[in-house]
Structure 1
Amino acid sequence: MTETVVHVTTLEQWKSVLDVWFKAGYDWAYINKGYMEELFYDGSRQLGLNIHGEDEISFWSFNGYTGGNLIEYSEFMAQQKDDNKMAMVYEVSQSVFDELQRIKTHEGMSLIAAIIFSAQLIKTIEVGNKAILRYLADDPAIEFKVKEPLYRLWLIDDFGNKLFFWIDDGRPDWVGAEDEAFTATLDEIKKWQTPAWEIEKAD
């Protein structure tokens, strides 16, 4: 990474910038590890990396850095996203994505209230609470998208049983257990479909 100094305004932004640099293998020089929140609470709002060729993270107690490479947090995060260096993309089901959007809009209540109201749901999402909370707070470094749905083929046999398309050692076959069915994207499933088989979503 090149010389960079980032101006932040919130503790969340402070931590987000540090997350990028920690992930890239950088750390503070000669001081304790971690987010060093006390520096933020003491008034520091400028974080630097590789300043004067020093391969480390630095800060300015009195926010006195005025060099030409001083950028705002939003610009910094946009650079990370553009460079694909940091943006974390999580794939979730359509129903989970819809619920996250509902919480994010938090109509009729504050965001904090919406998160508290939906705490049980948030705990069930396997991504992890930290990433979800950052996403809900509009952190541009965290993205959620709907995973491409998977499909399977099924038919009803002469005895009224529902059977599923299955591939056994490269040979098409059928299986009675839904969780053993061959699942794939819609385009791939259509390659295997014949008039006997119907398509359905797998989840």
Structure 2
Amino acid sequence: MTETLVHATTLDQWKSVLDVWFAQGYEWHGTGKSYHERYFDDGWRFLLLNKDNDILKPTLRRQSIEYSEFMAQQKEDNKMETYYVTQEQLDLIKGLKNRKYPLNILFIELDRYKNIQIGLNTHEEKALLRYLGGDTSIEFEVKEQLYRLWRIDDGDRVYMKFTKYGTPDWTMDEDNAFTAPCEEIEKHKTVSWEIEKAD
């Protein structure tokens, strides 16, 4: 995917862009799904969705699109809703979809429902029910496994992160750690850092 930089001039536009990206499964790098109105209040008027599928505050000027152009693209692209799940969840969902009465099986076999439900928000659960009910505008795909680096020490567990200037740093908060696909993480691994899966 290429980077997308959207120019928002009002807080409502800011929130609308984020709503679109949150519904598609994206989130702020390290801080989850929040509107971060303080960024807008501090003068930021651009939202960046980078190639690693993280929403970031842009630090350099890039080619941007206006809010109206972004929303027009969304109307064209919204023919198919894609939700990202684990491989195990996808196998269960596909197995249910091939059954004659998938909703009955889903709710009768409670263990199956619990295994699929883990990590899904209310919107994604509703999409699952629509998908099993025959809605062809919804698809489920496996989300790419992300990894992070933790420092090999005897003390507290610390994780690698990057500052806004792109220099390496550390944090004790795993949610603020630098996460990326395995190939990218391996570029930053040294004898002092160990790789682990990020949830």
Length-normalised TM-score, structure 1? 0.48
- Structure with the bigger RCO (C-alpha within 8 Å, sep 6+) is 2
Task: Please tell me whether Structure 1 or Structure 2 has the larger radius of gyration of its CA atoms.
Answer: 1
